[in-house]
Amino acid sequence: MANHIHRPPYYAGTEFADLSKHDGGLLHAVGASNYQVLRANRSRPEEADGFGNTYNHAPMLTYWRGCFYLEYLSNPVSEHTGAGQSFIVKSKDGMTWDKPRVSFPVIRVPAGEYQCADGTTVEVPEGTFAFMHQRMGFYHTKDDRLIVSGFYGHAPHHDICPWRNYGIGRVVREVFEDGAMGPVYFIRYLDYSGWTEDKLPFPYYKHAADKSFVAACEELLADRFVTEQWTEEHGPADTAIGLKIPKKEDGEGGTAPNTPFESASSFCWYHIDENTVAALWKQGKVGISRDGGVNWDIRYEPTFATSGAKSWGQKTEDGRFAICYDNSLSSEHRYPLVVVTSDDGIEFNDMACVFGELPPRRYEGIYKDFGPQYIRGICEGHKEYPAGAMWICHSINKEDIGVSRIPLPVRRSVDEHIHDTFEGCEDGYVKDWNIYSTKWSPVTLEKVNGETCLKIADQDPCDYARAMRIFPRSAKVSVVLEIMAARYEKDLEIELADKTGVPVCRVSLGGGWLKARYGSNTEKCCKVEPEPVWHTLEIRADCANNVYTVLWDSKVAKRYGFGRPVHKANDVERLILRTKPRRCLPNFEIYPDTPDMKNADEPETQRIYLIRSVSTKSLD
């Protein structure tokens, strides 16, 4: 193995995100698609979680007996405040998700004084609600049972983290295949924070009537890698859990102590071989152990340009390794979500964008940072995993919850021109298309007169649907698509863009017209019949000569001459279909303290577009 195996993981590439662009101006991972699990809705809670909470965060993901399970925590408005609870959501395919169900409910903290082991007295007033804070979600037992976990805490102020003296303890319950869940139990409670069994709102696990469940909890407690995820919340006084990784205030050699806004937390690990284990924490902290987790080399790794948004690493189905993180040093601007890959689990390269959207934050709230964040995947050591792709989950703006599917092997380009119909997508995944699909702007497959088509819909007042197809990088290319749509006043935008996302050609369909953008102007090319029938749109781009031609049903609708593309580029590689204009806001100049958006909770009249085929060919 290469000499660099003796150091922790690092990024050897030279590409980094430009935060003035939501996708960082990066190459995209071919086929990486994003699906919304939850769209928060305050005034129409029946459309979301049934409660109307608008702070939703810290999702955890697993795959068990052929289904995805996702847990996330939720507060009414802000971080570390309010009547918090956790939800669990189930999906067969990762694209369509059931309604959230409460996994750990709202509880009140008994009023009174709590005497802590360090001599501190914590006074809890009447009416204090607890809230959830969980660094670990699911555990699979050796006999294939599924346990879901969470952590209850409280705090007198949102700047105080709900652990150590303000922690209550960790709860667990069993998840059954039919969606039901067993009783809630505490698996650890913080006695050094003044908690005793008689104060707990749920019983201690050792009192469970089901002794096999007690044995499952004991198995979980004995797994030091799993419980290392707990150490931040439980604190150093709990010596029965974790790997005993050293904690240091500054410098190298350990992770930071459990203090608010700590410089390293959220342990993630993957095995390179039986004895070699790599670890990731927040804030670019990385580690390597060559003796199965006993001794560690831990350091800050500046090549992983990230902040407090969590990083996720794993060995992938193709025998390689991948790390996903937000490539931003600003903890308030957590985008874009990228993946880097490695052959040996140490040297990572080939940065690719996975989630390159930054939808507007609809609801005000404390510490609701911009972007897809708190990235988690499916832990190692399980019996089964979804085939053909790496799956991760994240919150978006700390109000919506989503998952991303990254096909394996991870690619950043395609070699052959495309001839896509959608007949071969029996599993529902649109092969090689980069999909951005939300609850109110879904991108799906649908049968139309016996033919499978790509369906792009939109009724979201704040967000859009997007489907992108990467094709071979070409200076002179023809892109043809068959499209059907009724007449809508709002536009569907169709772009050809270069490798950094710069739009070179833009055609729009709306208001009864086919329109084309040239320079700073948009011109009507030809009228479009209001009846929804199939049309053929062709865009011929000649980047060297600054020319592009638009053909509608094989007739030249408009040809723009020298100096008339939207932007100058050497070549193009992306076809982008988007139900609203591309967005530049919010950006890294805007701090995330924006107010509530108006009319965010009411859907608009739905628009639907169907795509039957897409093809490209070189014109050189």
Specify whether 403 is located in the same domain as 423: no
209: which residues sit within 8 A by CB, 6+ positions away? none
Split at pLDDT 50, 70, 90, the class of 560 is low
DSSP category for residue 215: H
Specify whether 458 is located in the same domain as 399: no
Spatial separation of the C-alpha atoms in residues 193 and 289, rounded to whole Å:
32
What are phi and psi for residue 218, nearest 5 degrees?
-65, -40
Spatial separation of the C-alpha atoms in residues 463 and 397, rounded to whole Å:
13
Q: Is the peptide bond before 586 cis (omega within 30 degrees of 0)?
A: yes
* Percentage of the chain exceeding pLDDT 90: 87
* Mean pLDDT score, 615-620: 96
* Mean pLDDT score, 202-209: 98
Specify whether 340 is located in the same domain as 486: no
Split at pLDDT 50, 70, 90, the class of 559 is confident
Domain-located, residue 360: yes
What does R_g of the chain's alpha carbons equal in angstroms?
A: 25
Domain-located, residue 551: yes
Spatial separation of the C-alpha atoms in residues 200 and 187, rounded to whole Å:
11
How do residues 393-405 score in pLDDT, each as one tens digit?
999 999 999 999 9
Question: Which carries the bigger pLDDT value, residue 339 or residue 559?
Answer: 339
Q: Computed from CA positions of residues 293, 377, 99, 152, in that sequence, does the dihedral angle turn out positive or negative?
A: positive
Domain-located, residue 205: yes
Spatial separation of the C-alpha atoms in residues 149 and 183, rounded to whole Å:
12
Exposure pattern of 256-294 as b/e (b: 16+ CB <10 Å)?
Answer: bbbeeebbbbbbbbbbbeeebbbbbbbbbbbbbbbeebe
How do residues 141-200 score in pLDDT, each as one tens digit?
999 999 999 999 999 999 998 988 999 999 999 999 999 999 999 999 999 999 999 999
Split at pLDDT 50, 70, 90, the class of 251 is very low
237 half-sphere exposure, CB direction, 13 A CA radius: 17
pLDDT at 1: 43
Specify whether 472 is located in the same domain as 352: no
- Of 407, 431, 461, which residue constitutes the final position of a domain? 407
Spatial separation of the C-alpha atoms in residues 340 and 285, rounded to whole Å:
16
Domain-located, residue 413: no
Specify whether 144 is located in the same domain as 272: yes
Residue 532, both tokens: 């929804």
pLDDT at 255: 46
How do residues 59-116 score in pLDDT, each as one tens digit?
999 999 999 999 999 999 999 998 999 999 999 999 999 999 999 999 999 999 999 9
How do residues 455-514 score in pLDDT, each as one tens digit?
999 999 999 999 999 999 999 999 999 999 999 999 999 999 999 999 999 999 999 999
Residue 126, both tokens: 């009447």
Q: Give the DSSP H/E element, type plus range, for residue 549.
A: strand 547-552
pLDDT at 261: 35
Burial of 252 (0-12, 13-18, 19+ CB in 10 A): exposed
Specify whether 493 is located in the same domain as 403: no
The answer, yes or no, to whether residue 604 has pLDDT greater than 90, is: yes
Q: Is 230 within 8 Å of 135 (Cβ atoms)?
A: yes
* Strands 443-448 and 312-315, sheet pairing: unpaired
What are phi and psi for residue 212, nearest 5 degrees?
-70, -30
pLDDT at 247: 62
How do residues 515-537 score in pLDDT, each as one tens digit?
999 888 999 999 998 889 999 99
pLDDT at 38: 98
Split at pLDDT 50, 70, 90, the class of 385 is very high
Specify whether 560 is located in the same domain as 592: yes
* Mean pLDDT score, 119-127: 96
Q: What CATH number is attached to the domain comprising 364?
A: 2.120.10.10
**The residue type at 32:** A
pLDDT at 248: 59
- Of 352, 385, 407, which residue constitutes the final position of a domain? 407
Residue 266, both tokens: 């959220």
* Percentage of the chain exceeding pLDDT 70: 95
Number of domains composing the chain: 2
- Of 374, 407, 440, which residue constitutes the final position of a domain? 407
Specify whether 174 is located in the same domain as 281: yes
Specify whether 378 is located in the same domain as 423: no
For the chain, the average pLDDT equals 94
Q: Which domain holds residue 213?
A: 3-407
Please give the angle made by the CA atoms of 407, 609 and 442, to the nearest 5 degrees: 50
pLDDT at 563: 65
Q: What CATH number is attached to the domain comprising 510?
A: 2.60.120.200
Specify whether 442 is located in the same domain as 335: no
Domain-located, residue 414: no
Specify whether 214 is located in the same domain as 306: yes
Domain-located, residue 412: no
Specify whether 426 is located in the same domain as 391: no
Residue 597, both tokens: 């958006």
The answer, yes or no, to whether residue 256 has pLDDT greater than 50, is: no
How do residues 313-350 score in pLDDT, each as one tens digit?
999 999 999 999 999 999 999 999 999 999 999 999 99
How do residues 405-462 score in pLDDT, each as one tens digit?
999 999 999 999 999 999 988 789 999 999 999 999 999 999 999 999 999 999 999 9
What are phi and psi for residue 19, nearest 5 degrees?
-70, -5
Nearest alpha-carbon partner for 445 in 455, 435, 456: 455
